[in-house]
Structure 1
Amino acid sequence: MAGGSAIRGSRVGAGPLGETERGDAAPRVRVSYWCANGHETRPSFSSEVQVEIPETWDCPRCGFPGGQDQDDPPAPPRNEPYKTHLAYVKERRSDADGVALLDEALAALRARRGG
């Protein structure tokens, strides 16, 4: 019996499948994208299918968006710092609104307790 790690259906010396077994490759067009760090990415798209080529493509090295103009790449996204729930509430309400809501809630609580 042969070794237990042999792949079934293959033989020693069998090479990878070539174009003759798989068929011809579809014609492709390669498009260059550059990110703000100067990295170039060249994804390929089918030239037979009428598909829109995207204006931006994310860089696989740094994650920044890349554009087709090498001299003017898109700006990296601006990351907003983490905000707490209270910070979002303070953006929507003024201090006077907060005091009015607190007074209203305290009055309702006192009315329920009979005080």
Structure 2
Amino acid sequence: MAERTLRGARLGGQSFEDERGIEFAARQQVGYRCAQGHTFEITMSIEAEVPAVWECPRCGSEAVSTSGIEREEKVEKPQRTHWDMLLERRSEKELEEILTERLELLRGGEIGPAHLHRASTRKKKARA
């Protein structure tokens, strides 16, 4: 076991690289305030798009940017109903024609629930 251990360094400990010659990205401090009154700052890249809302690290509620960045309001589509989708495929005149045709078939006993067919066919046989 003693032959396998690494000497002189801790695993996962510290890096032996130094920071000479490394150019860090430009940064900015962005301030936020939540409804509870907590204020905090987040370090972000200058190139990053700064969000209008950030989660408060203390209470978890939404915190708003103190630099005046406004939320973009999303345009919500109105909810489409079955009737709206039907009107995309057919005109009202076509729908009226289909309705009258289907009602005639239903009243004539050609379509519809089975128990209605049996009753109408019995009546027809009794008349004949």
Query: Structure 1 length normalisation: TM-score?
Result: 0.42
Which gives a bigger RCO, structure 1 or 2 (Cα 8 Å, sep 6+)?
Answer: 1
Larger Rg: 2
Query: Structure 2 length normalisation: TM-score?
Result: 0.39
